[in-house]
Amino acid sequence: MGAGPTNPEYYDFERYSSSRVMHLTYWLSWRSCKLLRAFLLASIGAVASSYRPRFFSKIIMLSASPRYLKDEDYFGGFEHEDFDQLFDAMIENYHSWCYGFAPLWIGADMDSLVMQEFSRTLFSMRSDIALNQMNTTFHSDLRPILGLVSAPCHIIQ
């Protein structure tokens, strides 16, 4: 929601969180599902599984991280200054930022189908939604949740 052909007016900043996965599992009466997610969504799946362990029989995480910013007891994330520059560039000129960010993130040729699709998705997203998602992603710290996950996890980096 908030990118591609969806109506951005329907994006609810509170609704799209880990609680959404839990609501779906309960509403759909899922039992023993296997969750496959990438990046932050993988971590959100881990959070959901810590609240409702019986719903998840396995979690498969692609390029997941519990934290994206470095601090005094966590190494491996981005520097705070780098994030601030990224966020400022998004605010200053979102479309220009998209043009530069897409090839850095995907690492593919500009003419590739993957690059074209990712770029199209970024350009179609409203800047306030993209800023919210970026801010939420980079300021999340899910390390305290990791010990609560009881489902077997496969982490692919």
pLDDT digits (tens, 9 = 90+) for 59-87: 888 888 888 889 888 887 788 898 899 89
User: Which residues are registered as beta bridge partners of 61?
Assistant: 37, 155
Q: In what order do the strands lie in the sheet with 33-38?
A: 33-38, 56-62, 153-156
Q: What does the pLDDT read at residue 17?
A: 54
User: pTM for the full model?
Assistant: 0.64
Where do the domains of the chain lie? 1-66+142-157, 68-140
CA atoms within 13 A on the CB side of 118: 18
- Rounded average pLDDT per 10-residue block, the chain, 157 residues: 61 58 54 69 80 83 85 84 90 90 77 84 86 83 87 85
